[in-house]
């Protein structure tokens, strides 16, 4: 389903990676590579989601699901039995940032026979559902622009606050 004709442009995620960030602080992240070539990163996502997304995307690397599984891994085992849920899921849209908490929200859209039900969700959970059922994931362009601007400002602050090396 194409993005709606809203004033806000949605960017489709072409690739989803879940990992532990290699640079300190080593936090769990989901990186969405978008159709315009930019990326959008969700920081501090639950570790269980990172594990579950990787097991979903790379099952050959995770033959043993271990003795203690998260609900996300259990859902992966029962994906075929959950086809009704998957068939009703239209898409996921990361569309909101609460500026007071710094937390993003997403909406999962479900088709209930001509009526669209939008459920506000934790973005990493909604993204997992979309990946589980092979549904499109979108991010509001404004949020991507804001994240890029914030990262630019942080890099500029780091540059200005780091002591300059003097020539001897």
pLDDT tens-digit readout, 107-157: 999 999 999 999 999 999 999 999 999 999 999 999 999 999 998 998 888
Contacts from 32-37 at CB under 8 Å and sequence distance 24+? 32/94, 32/127, 32/137, 32/139, 34/139, 34/144, 35/11, 36/11
Q: pLDDT per residue over 40-52, tens digit each?
A: 999 999 999 999 9
- Does residue 73 contact residue 55 with C-beta atoms inside 8 Å? yes
Mean pLDDT, residues 10-25 taken together: 90
Predicted structure pTM score: 0.85
Of the candidates 92, 161, 122, which has an alpha carbon nearest to the alpha carbon of residue 28? 122
Q: What is the CATH number of domain 10-158?
A: 3.10.690.10
> CA 143 to CA 128: how far, in whole Å?
20
- Does residue 143 contact residue 150 with C-beta atoms inside 8 Å? no
pLDDT score for 5: 47
């Amino acid at each position: 389903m194409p993005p709606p004709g809203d004033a806000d442009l949605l960017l489709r995620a072409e690739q989803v990676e879940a990992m532990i960030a290699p640079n300190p602080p080593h936090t769990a992240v989901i990186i969405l590579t978008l159709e315009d070539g930019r990326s959008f990163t969700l920081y501090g996502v639950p570790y269980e989601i990172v594990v579950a997304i990787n097991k979903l995307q790379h099952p050959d690397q995770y033959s043993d699901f271990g003795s203690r599984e998260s609900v996300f891994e259990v859902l992966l085992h029962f994906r075929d039995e959950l086809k009704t849920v998957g068939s009703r899921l239209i898409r996921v849209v990361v569309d909101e940032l609460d500026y007071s908490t710094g937390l993003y929200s997403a909406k999962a859209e479900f088709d209930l026979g001509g009526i669209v039900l939008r459920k506000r969700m934790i973005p990493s959970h909604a993204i997992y559902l979309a990946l589980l059922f092979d549904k499109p994931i979108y991010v509001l362009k404004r949020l991507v622009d804001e994240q890029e601007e914030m990262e630019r400002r942080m890099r500029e602050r780091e540059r200005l606050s780091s002591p300059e090396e003097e020539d001897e």
